[in-house]
Structure 1
């Protein structure tokens, strides 16, 4: 969550929408690959730049 700078709810939403896939799921916890997290962070930065140019 800290790496992506998102909330638990947003992380859960990304999982449900298939934007990021957990490697392991245990009752309340999900484990993600760091590579996937970093890839998603790059994608979200590109989307923010494209759709929110006024935020700098």
Structure 2
């Protein structure tokens, strides 16, 4: 479900307490956490590669 669709659901009066909305929120949080984990891993790898290159240059 897209974020746009989810936001539309969230703005429908009377829907704020439904299980469907809660499921959408939980799914959104899972996706956000997965994306954050991927970004963190990517940044760590990029940082490590940069450090290895610097160490190689120092060794020359």
Q: Same fold (TM over 0.5)?
A: no
TM-score tier (shorter): 0.3 to 0.5
TM-score by length of 2: 0.41
Larger RCO (CA within 8 A; separation ≥ 6): 1
TM-score by length of 1: 0.43
| Bigger radius of gyration | 2
